[in-house]
Copies of this chain bind each other. A is one copy, B any other.
Amino acid sequence: MKPKILQIRKGILENNDVLAHKLRQKFSQKNILVINVVSSPGSGKTEFLTVLIKKLIKKGLKVCAVVGDLATDNDALRLKSSGAPSYQINTNGNCHLDANMIEKSLTKIPWENADIIFIENVGNLVCPASYDLGENIRIVLISVTEGEDKPLKYPTMFNSSDICVISKIDLSRAVEYNKKIAIQNISSVSPDIKIFETSAKKDIGVDKIVSYLSIKKNKHY
């Protein structure tokens, strides 16, 4: 890549970081916990979030959601079924969300009253890793069907995340998933990451994340 292009890319990332920092301050003033959820396409982000948000709302928390996709507004419609006000950002072919898109989307949801805002990123294990969205917690989802080696192949995404949710564990046997190797690989690129095993479909493991986030919520951000 030529130096000029590198310089411009650096500029884009720097501008994004400045805006993300401002967003984080804005959220912090209202004591809102913001969570950026990233994964490959088809890892089950929307299903996981729908189940998780339902449970958080049942606990009395106010939740909003923003979801990014290249095309369609399917995911916002699915997320709305959880009871949370949800807004779809159509990225028009862009491979990730950025802080600017998040700032604009805030006019579309009652974010100021929320306890937690979930941001469901574009399904992509590469590009979203570089874009801070002003979140407090980054969750990377990885389904058992994707193979145990993915953390080694996409280290930046795992290394930049605070929580790893292993999804679709009800399929572990069918895909001959090797849990020990998977956890070894995750920990080798991201030693401090917190790992949860879940199946949104069978309602396994989601309650543990509800408890964890409820505690996190009580810390001031």
Contact = CB atoms under 8 A, between A and B. Distances in A.
B72 A152 contact: yes
6 contacts: A8-B8, A40-B123, A41-B146, A69-B153, A71-B155, A145-B168
Contact of A40 (B12, B42, B153): B42
Interface of A: 4-5, 8, 12, 40-42, 69-72, 74, 93, 95, 122-127, 143, 145-147, 149-150, 152-156, 168, 171, 174-175
Q: Which 9 A-B pairs have the closest CB atoms?
A: A42-B146, A95-B126, A145-B145, A174-B174, A40-B41, A40-B40, A42-B147, A41-B125, A72-B152
Copies in the complex: 2
Nearest to A93: B156
Contacts of A69: 153
Contacts of A122: 126
Nearest to A15: B2
A96 to B, nearest CB: 8
Contacts of A146: 41-42
A26 to B, nearest CB: 24
A28 B155 CA distance: 37
B126 A72 contact: no
A29 B175 CA distance: 43
B42 A72 contact: no
Contacts of A155: 70-71
Nearest to A1: B94
Nearest to A148: B42
Contact of A145 (B42, B70, B74): B42
Contact of A95 (B40, B95, B147, B149): B95
A93 B13 CA distance: 15
Most chain B beta-carbon contacts within 10 A, residue among A123, A143, A147, A152: A123
